[in-house]
Each structure stands twice: as structure tokens, then as C-alpha cells.
Structure 1
Amino acid sequence: MIDPGFFLEIFPKLVAGLPLTLKLCGISVLLGFVLAVVLALAQQSENAFFVWPIRAFVSVFRGTPLLVQIFLIYYGLGQFRPNLQALGLWWLFREPFWCAIIALTLNTAAYSSEILRGAIRNVPRGLPEAASALGLSRLLTLRLVVLPLALRQALPAYGNEIILIVKGTSLASIITLTEVTGLAQELISQTYRAMEVFVAAGAIYLLINFIIVRALELLEIKLTPYRKR
């Protein structure tokens, strides 16, 4: 049986890890989206020199678990400390926070680039051609016509990716980061009451994802007002 009193006692303690969870998610989603746009646009090229390395990157990060990626970046790259120090990058890879950010960013960029690539290719061919006939340059056509339509189409699928990243931040606890899951593990080691602690932690993640889902629904309505009903 779950003790409501204990549940209410530990809930504020778990909330203390929420800022770190949101920071991990926010930074990785932002950086991952920028990288995903670049990768998706690069894959529209017919030049294999650009396309195949990107496809290899996407395949690797989509085909391996996020947990393994975090381990490889945090523990694996630590074996190359002299090289990283020579390049001036050791300050980045010695911090578990930035290692988690790098892993989450690369992971979400791989998935999101495929979402955006498909959305860009689904933009009707006649629209860019009409924009070109009106005298718009390729860059303006991309910025004013192709990308806005592609982003609208990609929004539902991209919303799922954001939710996956929120849940993926829980894996940062394995490299000593005390976000919500990390605090939950500490509380379990102190109290030996895993049920209440994990229910409370799950409730926090559920609340975060509920807010994200509602925000994305409102954004989708704003971007496609003709579908309000």
C-alpha cells in the first residue's frame, strides 16, 4: 500500500531535481532541432559526399540505445583525455552535464532530421515552383514556403520526439546527475520504499509531458487555424 503521507513528504524533494531535468531537455531539444534542420536540408542534396555521412550518423544514433551513447561519450571519450586536452575540449567532456547534453542532442538530432526530411519532401512540388516563378530566390523560397509548411506537417511527430527526450533525461542519472530520477534513486537508497518514490517521480514526468502535449496542441491550432474543429 502507498503511504499518502510519505508520498507528500518526498514529492517536494523530487521536485528539487526538476530544474536540472528541464535544463537538460530544453538545451538538448533546442540544439538538436537546429542540427536536425541542417541535416534534413543537407539530405535534400543529390551529392553523395554530403548525404551518405549524414545517413551513417542517423543510422548509428537511431540504431543504438541512448544509454549506450551516454556511456560512450562520458566514459569512452575519457580514455582520450590527452588528445582532448590538446584540442582544448577536455573541459567539455569532463563534465557529466555537458556529456549528457551532447548525447541527448545528437540522439534527438538524428531522429528529428528524419522527421523533417520526410516533411520537407512532402511539401507539394508545385509550391516551390510557383515561388520561383514569382521571382523568389531559393533561400527565400526555403524560408518562406518550404520550411513553414514542413514544420507544420512535422509538428505532431516532433512532439513525440520531445516527449521521448524528456523521458530520456532520466538516463542522465547514471553519470551522477541528480535530476528527478537521480534524486529518486537516492531517496530509495535511504528509505527502501521504491513504490512511493517511483510513483512520485512518474507523476512529475507525466505532468511535464502533459504540459508539453497541451502546448503543442495549441501551437498546432495556431499554425493551422482551419483545423480548429
Structure 2
Amino acid sequence: MYDWFLGGKDHYAVDAEAASKVLELFPGVRDTAWANREFMHRAARFVARQGVDQFLDVGTGIPTEPNLHQVVQVVTPSARVVYADNDPIVLRHAEALLHGTPEGRTAYLHADVREPERIVAYARAHLDLDRPVGLSLIALLPFVTDEQDPYGVVRTLLEPLPSGSFLTLTHVSAEFDPEVWERIAAVYRSAGTPVRARSHAEVTRFFDGLDLCEPGVVPATRWHPEPGMRVRGEQPVFAGLARKP
């Protein structure tokens, strides 16, 4: 569905059908998806410019270009990126489409964010966890329900990362229009995918113990906006980036 919202071609008819239902309920959903994606680009460049040359992107989704490795390897051609996703179709696309620079490296793991220990073990085999890592959780945590302990999942992913590492995160929120959000959530539930919006306070809690970078947890388009952004209007997605002390 995310690929469909972004105008990509790597999705199935059932995805397009569900995405069309969401579009009927929320005509601005394409802008929301693009605001989310453009924040990832800005945040990844920011982290790379801090000297971080290793990244762990969990929940990469269908690879709609430019992907994280393409963004950070412009800054640091030797950057390494580990991708993890629980959809085997995504991983097949990744193997075919995600190619890094000759100096850099990309690796892919079929895993669910709800098994963070397995993701950490794989990352350890491909990244040097004695040096800072940029952990990216973009539009992922809404699909981790409260019963699945999303805060514990994030803590487990962060725990082995050294000081100077960064957490980049986006999360949909119902605070902007609760009634519309409930209708959208019903579309996901009808397809067997529970989804959970969270408040500003709940999203901010993911950064507990970290040093939030300015301007803190804000609507995605308000996080260090740049010229040439496709979407500038406020969208119902909170975004933040923080450094591990």
C-alpha cells in the first residue's frame, strides 16, 4: 500500500484495492506517505553528516527509490546498510533492486521487528557495533500493537548500539483527525493487519533516555524542511531523531 501511495509499481491488486479505500477516506494520504518518505531522506542525510557510516533500517518496505543506502552513500560512499523486513516479497525486490556503491555494502534479512534479538544478531555480523549506528524505524511501529510491547522492541534494538548512535522514527497519529483515523484503521483490520496510531506523548516516549535533536518530535514536514520538498503542508505523522548519549 505504501508503494502505491508513493506512485510505485511494486504492489499487487489487493494492495491497490485497500489503498484506494484509504484514499477515499483520506484524500491526502499520498501527501502523508511522501512527507514520511521525504523526512527519511532528510534525517538519513543528517545522521550521515554526523559521521555515522553504518545504518540499520527495519521495516524497509518495497524499495521505492531513493532508498536509505542511496541517500547516505551520496554523503559517505563507503556507508554500510542492513535492511530487515518480514515480507519475503520485499526481500526479493530488495535483492534485485537495492544495489549500493562499490565502496559500500548492503545486506538484507527476512525478519519481523517483533524478533529484535534476531535482527541485532544479523546486524552484528554485518556492522561494527563498537561504532555508532543509525537505526531507522520509518512508519513501522504503528504495526506493533501494545500487546507486542513496541517500547521493549525499540529498547532491545537500541541496547547494543554504542554512544553516538541515532534513532530515526516516524509514527502516524490520530490526534489530527480521530474519526478519519478510525475508519482507516478499520480498512487495515479488515485485511488482517491491526494498526495502532499513537499520541505525541506516546511517540515521544520511544526516545526516552536519548537526546532528541531539534526541533524534537514534530509533524514530519516541520523537521528541518528543505527547498524542493514535494510536500510542505502538515501531515498526521510525527517524526523525530535522537542521539544515544
Q: Is the pair's TM-score, using the shorter chain for normalization, greater than 0.5?
A: no
TM-score (norm 2): 0.24
TM-score (norm 1): 0.25
Larger radius of gyration: 1
Q: Which has the higher contact order (CA 8 A, sep 6+)?
A: 1
Q: Which has the higher helix share?
A: 1
